[in-house]
């Protein structure tokens, strides 16, 4: 049993701080998702297959979360339909009330937390000391916020240390990197097609979440009550438990943000190669692999400290230099292409004009 001061800050402020911290990181996650979607939209006219692939991953995660909602509420799954543009899950039993609300909550909130939570579990294998949940003796708003922030900072520091020292000759490290990229590219779909094309953006998500929450305000108050009872129990028995639960939710959003940042590098490289002539486009991607392998092999004969970090640095610098040189000397002649298209339009216009005069 833990003795705590019974004042407003301890009974309310300390309970509210972790929730606000998680909400802040979730909004940060939404912002980075929106930025990624804008980057992908600029690729769609040249890389339709790649964008459709990312959209498919997002719909896959969304459909799985919807199915989990029906499984948790014991509604059963009658049909699971999934295409590149659309996903649909139908329950065996149509339930109403709290069960319907929970199933829809899985659909709306699940894609932001469940896939990222699985990635977080995988990260436990590769991160040595990233999972530390500290608890101070101050049961206050500032104290709780500081504890959650400390846990997130420790995890972020361990994650960055792993990324800058990642061993691409280690199958576990490579597998984890591919899992991060796979999840990051499909964290949310960009659009859903059901009769008409419906754009999925930050406003779309927030609007549907708002409508879901205000539709059943009683369930919201009940959820808040359950969380507060859990806080009171943990406050007098084990205060670390309450902070640990919300710290994990914050780590999930932080994992999603890191995955999104990694995908930005891929998207930027793909967009940069659009400036290069067709038969030279693959050179930067080949340089990524070749430069890293050559660097690691050379360090076998010339051993030194921090081999993995230096090899990563050689890989990135080599790819950057090669890409810049190719853009400079093997650049796509857009002016020539635009002029050609203009001549085609002019020629078509002359044909239409002459046809009208003949008529």
**pTM for the full predicted model:** 0.84
Which residues in 166-177 are b (16+ Cβ under 10 Å) and which e?
bbbeeeebeebb
pLDDT at 196: 55
Sort 94 into a burial class: Cβ within 10 Å, 0-12 / 13-18 / 19+. exposed
- Per the structure block, which two tokens stand in for 180? 């991060």
β-partners of residue 88 are 81
Q: CB of 281 within 8 A of CB of 331?
A: no
Residue ranges of the chain with per-residue pLDDT less than 70:
1-7, 135-138, 193-198, 333-359
Nearest Cα to Cα of residue 181 among 255, 282, 285: 255
Q: Report the C-alpha gap between 67 and 224 in whole angstroms.
A: 25
**pLDDT > 90 fraction of the chain, expressed in percent and rounded:** 35
Q: pLDDT tens across 281-310, in order?
A: 889 999 999 999 999 999 888 888 888 999
Rg (CA), the chain: 26
Q: What residue spans define the domains of the chain?
A: 8-268, 275-358
């Amino acid at each position: 049993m833990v003795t705590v001061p019974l004042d407003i800050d301890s009974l309310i402020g300390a309970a509210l701080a972790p929730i606000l911290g998680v909400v802040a990181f979730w909004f940060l996650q939404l912002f980075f998702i929106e930025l990624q979607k804008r980057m992908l939209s600029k690729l769609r006219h040249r890389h339709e297959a790649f964008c459709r692939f990312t959209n498919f991953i997002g719909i896959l995660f969304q459909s799985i979360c919807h199915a989990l909602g029906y499984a948790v509420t014991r509604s059963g799954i009658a049909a699971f339909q999934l295409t590149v543009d659309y996903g649909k899950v139908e329950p065996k039993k149509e339930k109403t009330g709290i069960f319907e609300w929970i199933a829809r909550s899985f659909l709306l909130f699940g894609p932001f937390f469940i896939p990222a939570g699985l990635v977080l579990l995988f990260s436990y294998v590769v991160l040595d000391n990233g999972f530390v949940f500290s608890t101070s003796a101050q049961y206050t708003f500032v104290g709780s916020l500081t504890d959650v922030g400390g846990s997130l900072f420790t995890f972020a520091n361990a994650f960055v240390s792993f990324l800058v020292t990642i061993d691409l000759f280690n199958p576990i490290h490579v597998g984890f990197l591919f899992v991060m990229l796979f999840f990051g590219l499909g964290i949310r779909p960009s659009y859903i097609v059901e009769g008409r094309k419906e754009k999925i953006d930050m406003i779309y998500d927030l609007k549907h979440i708002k409508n879901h929450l205000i539709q059943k305000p009683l369930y919201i108050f009940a959820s808040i009550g359950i969380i507060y009872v859990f806080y009171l129990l943990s406050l007098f028995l084990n205060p670390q438990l309450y902070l640990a639960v919300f710290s994990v939710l914050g780590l999930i959003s932080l994992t999603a943000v890191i995955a999104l940042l990694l995908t930005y590098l891929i998207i930027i490289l793909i967009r940069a190669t659009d400036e290069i002539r067709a038969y030279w486009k693959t050179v930067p991607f080949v340089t990524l692999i070749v430069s890293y392998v050559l660097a690691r092999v050379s360090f076998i004969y010339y051993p030194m400290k921090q081999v993995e970090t230096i090899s990563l640095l050689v890989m990135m610098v080599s790819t950057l230099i090669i890409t810049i040189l190719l853009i400079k000397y093997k650049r796509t002649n857009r002016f020539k292409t635009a002029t050609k298209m203009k001549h085609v339009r002019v020629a078509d216009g002359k044909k239409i004009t002459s046809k009208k005069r003949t008529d």
